Chain A
């Protein structure tokens, strides 16, 4: 039972344009949602998070939007840079249960 789904395995974007990565979840009890970025042969690094009581969080070029009624969140990267090319994981955290649940990941390629 996949509680967090990233339906796009990959995304290709031109440098300078917007990248939009999407994520859907099934459990309305999640308290926080997080995005992690992962380069090959490295561990995931935290990128940005959003509380379930918010609908938007912004940090520089990165913005996460949360639509609770649709159980959907998205990560916007503007402008996209070649160094943003990586695998992006959406994750959801529930304080009850002490677990972080990950999606399958989306490979982002930013072409220069």
Chain B
């Protein structure tokens, strides 16, 4: 089974802080994704990557950046955290159309 691991389950950060969310997958998948989940809005795509050092903007990239230095690791960066970035963040990796998600990071920005 593919395993997608997100380093933190819960995070509390202050407004203006730079925040790093880490994600690691163990199945050598080329495609990795970052989503955020908000009530009533479902899962919205922030960024994705189809190869090392390659990245593409999703539907809501503003305020975020990403890094993919190694195939197995995809990091989401909040350059200057704001309260409207309080959310559940979900990382996923993909083979064909099958997506596997991590357990999520619940980020609260105060």
Contact = CB atoms under 8 A, between A and B. Distances in A.
- Whether chains A and B associate is yes
Interface of A: 4, 6, 9, 31-32, 34, 36, 41-46, 49, 89, 91, 93, 95, 98-105
Nearest to B102: A43
Interface of B: 4, 9, 31, 33, 35, 40-45, 48, 50, 56, 58, 90, 92, 94, 97-104, 106
Chain A to chain B: the 8 pairs with minimum beta-carbon distance, closest first: A43-B101, A102-B43, A104-B42, A102-B42, A93-B97, A32-B97, A43-B103, A44-B101
Given A98-B50, A99-B45, A102-B43, 7 more contacts: A42-B103, A44-B43, A95-B97, A100-B45, A100-B97, A103-B42, A104-B40
A95 B96 CA distance: 9
Given A9-B40, A89-B43, A43 B4 contact: yes
